C-alpha cells in the first residue's frame, strides 16, 4: 500500500497508533479502533492510541479476529503498516483460547494447544498449589475447582489468558418475565442494542460471564434486568450505593413480574435475602476493624445464586475482586461505562468478572437519539496573585487543592448559571468546603456523603419534579443517580485525572431530552496549574467517546 493522504492513521512498530483528528475519516477510524486499542493521549490534532495485550484479548473474546484488526489498520493507514506489528497482533490474539478451562468431574482441567505453554505454567512457583494432580498428559493438567479464579488471575498477569469453558452451576430457578407496561401505563420494550448486549453475554463460547460497556443513560440497568429475566435464576445485584440500589429496585418492580416480597435489600438497616437481592459494595466490604475480615461476604454463599451482577464494575473494590475469585462457578455480569480503572486492575476485571462481551460507542447512540448530544467545554480560570504565590512553595497535593478551590471559579459559575437560566443544572465538585461555599453563595441545596438518605431522596425528587433548578453534589453524585431532566453539568473540581469520574459525571446529563436533545458539560479548570495538567488526562475519556472538547478562557 502506498501513501493515502485522506487516511487518518499512522501505525507504529512500538504498538502506538497516531490518529489525525482533521481527517474526513477520523470518526470512522476512531470507532473502529475502540474494538482493539486504548486511547492514551488526545491533544487537538493528533490522538495517540496503543494496542495492548489486554485490548487484543478483549477483542478476541468479543469475537474479533486478528485478520479483522489488521484489515482495520490497513484500511485507515496513511502509510504502510509496519510489518513487525502484524505478527505481534496475530500472536497476542491467538493466545486467547490457547489455554482453556473445562470440566473434569469434580475437578477442572486446564488444556493447552502447545505443550510448551503448559510446561512453562507447571514450572511457575505461584501456580503449583492450584493444581490437583498431573495427568501425565503434556497438554492438560487438573485444577482444583475452588482455585478457578485465582488460576485465571495469575495466568492473565503472566500473559496467558484463559478461556473459561468450564460452565456454571445453575442457581435456584426463578419464574419471571418483563412486563409491557410500567405502573403509570407507559408501554416500553428493550432497545435493539440492549438485546444485542444480552445476546452477547449469554451466547457463544464462555457465555455467562463478562462485561457490557454502555454509556451512562443508555440503560445498562435494563441490560442487567433483561439478562436476569432471560436466565430465570436467583440473582444477586451489587450496587455502588443506597441510591443506586433503590433505583435498581424500582426498575425491577416496574419492568418485571417480580413482586415486593421477591426483591430484597441487604443493607446496614435491612438484611433481607430474597429471590433477587440487592446490596452495596460498601456493606459487603465493611469490617469492624482493619484486621478483621469483611463481615458480610457470606452473602455470596448463603443462597444458590444463578447470576451475580456487578453494577459499575470499574469501581469494584479490591476485596470484592478477591471474593469473586471464589465465585467462578456462578454466572457474572459486569456493567460499566468505561473499562478504565484508576488502580490499573483492568486485568483482574478480565480474569475474574470476564472479558468484554459488548461495547457500543457513545456517539453512535447519540446519533440514534438514545442519549443526548453533549457539548463539552473547559473554562480556564486564572488564579489570584495571592493564590499563585501560595502555590509556588506548596507540595503537589496542596498545589492541586489551591487550584481546585480557586475562588475566581465562583464568578464563572455565576455566568454559567445565568447562561442556562431556563435549564436544570448540576454543580459537581470534589472539595466539600469549596462546594459548600458556592452552595451558600448561590443558594443551592447540596448533597454530600453526610446528607441523610431521606434528605437525599427528597432533594432528588424535588429536582426531578422541576421544583429545584440547580443542585450541588459532591462525589456522591458520580454514581448511578437517575436525574433525567438534568441538561447541564458544571464541574468546579475533580478527582485528579480520573477518567472514571469524567464518565460518571458526563453520564448524569445524557438522558434523552425533549426538543433539540442537547446537553452541556462544563469543567472549570485553573489555568497554568497542576489542575490543568490533570484535566488533560480526564479529556482522554471524552475524546475516546468522540466528544469535541472546546477550551475557553474565563472573561
Whether residues 460 and 537 fall in one domain:
yes
Contacts of 217 (CB under 8 A, 6+ apart): 371, 372, 507, 509, 510, 511, 512
How confident is the model at residue 496, as a pLDDT? 65
| Within-domain flag for 295 | yes
Residue 221 phi/psi, 5-degree rounding, is -60, -40
Q: What is the DSSP letter of 294?
A: P
H or E element that contains 213: strand 209-213
For residues 55 and 78, state if they share a domain.
yes
Which pLDDT tens digit goes with each residue over 191-232? 999 999 999 999 888 889 999 998 877 889 999 999 999 999
Query: What 3-state class would DSSP assign to 11?
Result: strand
Q: Same domain, yes or no, for 496 and 425?
A: yes
For residue 199, the model assigns a pLDDT of: 95
Chain position carrying cell 435489600: 265
CATH of the domain at 380: 3.40.50.300
* Residue where the block lists cell 455565576: 414
pLDDT for res 2 = 74
Residue 14 CB coordination number (10 Å): 10
Pairing assessment for the beta strands 209-213 and 276-280 based on DSSP bridges: unpaired
Residue whose grid cell is 504565590 = 389
pLDDT value for 479: 66
Residue 478: phi and psi, rounded to 5, are: -75, -25
Which residue do the cell numbers 436525574 mark? 483
Q: Are residues 431 and 334 in the same domain?
A: no
Q: What is the CA radius of gyration of the chain?
A: 24
Do 292 and 377 lie in one domain? The reply is: no
b/e per residue, 361-371, with b = 16+ CB within 10 A? bbbebbeeebb
pLDDT score of 541: 72
Query: All 3 cell numbers of residue 252?
Result: 425491577
68 domain-assigned? yes
pLDDT score, position 244: 86
> Within a 10 A sphere around the Cβ of 144, how many other Cβ atoms?
16
- 170, 187, 418, 501 from 235: Cα distances, Å: 11, 25, 47, 28
Establish if 172 belongs to a structural domain: no
Give the residue from 421, 423, 414, 379 showing the smallest Cα distance to 518: 423
Do residues 410 and 433 both lie within one domain? yes
User: Does any domain span residue 333?
Assistant: yes
Q: What is the mean pLDDT of the chain?
A: 89
The whole domain housing 28 covers: 9-95
Q: Nearest CA to 541 among 197, 51, 34?
A: 34
Question: Which residues in the chain show pLDDT less than 50?
Answer: none
Last residue of a domain, one of 40, 67, 95: 95
In a domain, 392, yes or no: yes
Q: Which of 122, 149, 164 is the last residue of a domain?
A: 164
Q: Which of 95, 122, 142 is the last residue of a domain?
A: 95
Dihedral of alpha carbons 476, 478, 482, 484, sign: positive
Q: Do 216 and 228 belong to one domain? A: yes
d(CA 276, CA 173): 11
Contact call for residues 534 and 496 (beta carbons, < 8 A)? yes
How many domains are there within the chain? 4
My answer on whether 210 and 324 are in the same domain is yes
Residues 444, 300 within the same domain? no
The 10 Å Cβ neighbour count of residue 74 is 16
Q: Alpha-carbon distance 253 to 278, whole Å?
A: 13
Q: Is residue 138 part of a domain?
A: yes
Print burial letters for 179-210: b (CB count within 10 Å at least 16), e (below 16): eeeeeeeeeeebbebbeebbbbbbeeebbbbb
Residue 178 lies in a domain: no
- Residues 402 and 336 grouped into a single domain: no
pLDDT at residue number 90: 97
Which residues, at least 6 apart from 266, have a Cβ–Cβ distance to it below 8 Å?
A: 272, 273, 277, 278, 279, 283, 296, 299
Q: Are residues 211 and 138 in the same domain?
A: no
Q: Beta strands 209-213 and 331-336: pairing type?
A: parallel
Q: Which helix (H) or strand (E) segment is 63 a member of?
A: none
* DSSP helix/strand/coil, 358: strand
Query: Quick check: is 417 in a domain?
Result: yes
Distance between terminal CA atoms of the chain? 50
Same domain, yes or no: 44 and 134:
no
Amino acid at each position: 500500500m502506498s501513501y493515502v493522504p485522506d487516511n487518518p492513521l499512522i501505525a507504529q512498530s512500538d504498538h502506538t497508533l497516531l490518529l489525525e483528528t482533521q481527517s474526513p475519516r477520523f470518526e470512522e477510524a476512531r470507532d473502529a479502533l475502540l474494538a482493539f486499542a486504548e486511547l492514551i493521549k488526545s491533544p487537538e490534532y493528533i490522538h495517540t492510541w496503543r494496542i495492548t495485550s489486554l485490548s487484543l484479548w478483549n477483542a478476541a473474546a468479543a469475537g474479533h479476529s486478528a485478520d479483522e484488526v489488521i484489515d482495520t489498520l490497513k484500511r485507515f493507514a496513511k502509510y504502510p503498516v509496519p510489518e513487525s506489528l502484524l505478527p505481534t497482533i496475530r500472536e497476542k490474539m491467538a493466545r486467547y483460547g490457547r489455554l482453556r478451562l473445562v470440566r473434569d468431574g469434580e475437578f477442572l482441567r486446564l488444556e493447552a494447544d502447545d505443550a510448551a505453554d503448559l510446561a512453562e505454567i507447571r514450572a511457575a512457583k505461584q501456580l503449583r498449589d492450584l493444581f490437583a494432580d498431573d495427568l501425565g498428559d503434556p497438554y492438560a493438567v487438573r485444577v482444583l475447582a475452588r482455585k478457578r479464579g485465582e488460576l485465571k488471575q495469575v495466568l492473565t498477569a503472566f500473559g496467558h489468558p484463559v478461556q473459561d469453558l468450564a460452565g456454571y452451576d445453575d442457581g435456584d430457578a426463578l419464574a419471571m418475565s418483563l412486563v409491557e407496561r410500567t405502573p403509570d401505563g407507559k408501554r416500553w420494550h428493550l432497545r435493539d442494542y440492549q438485546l444485542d448486549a444480552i445476546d452477547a453475554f449469554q451466547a457463544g463460547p464462555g457465555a455467562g460471564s463478562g462485561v457490557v460497556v454502555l454509556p451512562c443513560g443508555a440503560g445498562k440497568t435494563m441490560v442487567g434486568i433483561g439478562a436476569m429475566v432471560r436466565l430465570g435464576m436467583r440473582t444477586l445485584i451489587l450496587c455502588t450505593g443506597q441510591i443506586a440500589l433503590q433505583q435498581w429496585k424500582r426498575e425491577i418492580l416496574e419492568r418485571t413480574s417480580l413482586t415486593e416480597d421477591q426483591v430484597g435489600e441487604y443493607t446496614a438497616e435491612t438484611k433481607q435475602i430474597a429471590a433477587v437481592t440487592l446490596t452495596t459494595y460498601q456493606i459487603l466490604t465493611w469490617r469492624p476493624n482493619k484486621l478483621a475480615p469483611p463481615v458480610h461476604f457470606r452473602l455470596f454463599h448463603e443462597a444458590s445464586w444463578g447470576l451475580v451482577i456487578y453494577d459499575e464494575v470499574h469501581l469494584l473494590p479490591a476485596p470484592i475482586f478477591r471474593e469473586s475469585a471464589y465465585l467462578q462457578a456462578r454466572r457474572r455480569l459486569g456493567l460499566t461505562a468505561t473499562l478504565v480503572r484508576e488502580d490499573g486492575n483492568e486485568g483482574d476485571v478480565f480474569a475474574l468478572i470476564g472479558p468484554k462481551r459488548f461495547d457500543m460507542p457513545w456517539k453512535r447512540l447519540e446519533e440514534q437519539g438514545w442519549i443526548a448530544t453533549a457539548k463539552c467545554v473547559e473554562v480556564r480560570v486564572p488564579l489570584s496573585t495571592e493564590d499563585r504565590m501560595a502555590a509556588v512553595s506548596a507540595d503537589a497535593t496542596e498545589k492541586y487543592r489551591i487550584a481546585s478551590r480557586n475562588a475566581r471559579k465562583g464568578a464563572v459559575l455565576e455566568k454559567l448559571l445565568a447562561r442556562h437560566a431556563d435549564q436544570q443544572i448540576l454543580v459537581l465538585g470534589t472539595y466539600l468546603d469549596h462546594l459548600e461555599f458556592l452552595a451558600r453563595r448561590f443558594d443551592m441545596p447540596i448533597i454530600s456523603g453526610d446528607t441523610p438518605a431521606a434528605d437525599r431522596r427528597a432533594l432528588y425528587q424535588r429536582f426531578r419534579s422541576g421544583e429545584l433548578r440547580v443542585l450541588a453534589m459532591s462525589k456522591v453524585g458520580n454514581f448511578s443517580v437517575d436525574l433525567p431532566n438534568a441538561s447541564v453539568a458544571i464541574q468546579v473540581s475533580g478527582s485528579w485525572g480520573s477518567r472514571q469520574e469524567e464518565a460518571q459525571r458526563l453520564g448524569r446529563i445524557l438522558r434523552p431530552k425533549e426538543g433539540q436533545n442537547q446537553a452541556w458539560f462544563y469543567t472549570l479548570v485553573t489555568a497554568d496549574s497542576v489542575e490543568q495538567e490533570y484535566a488533560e488526562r480526564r479529556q482522554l475519556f471524552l475524546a475516546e467517546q468522540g466528544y469535541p472538547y472546546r477550551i475557553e478562557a474565563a472573561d
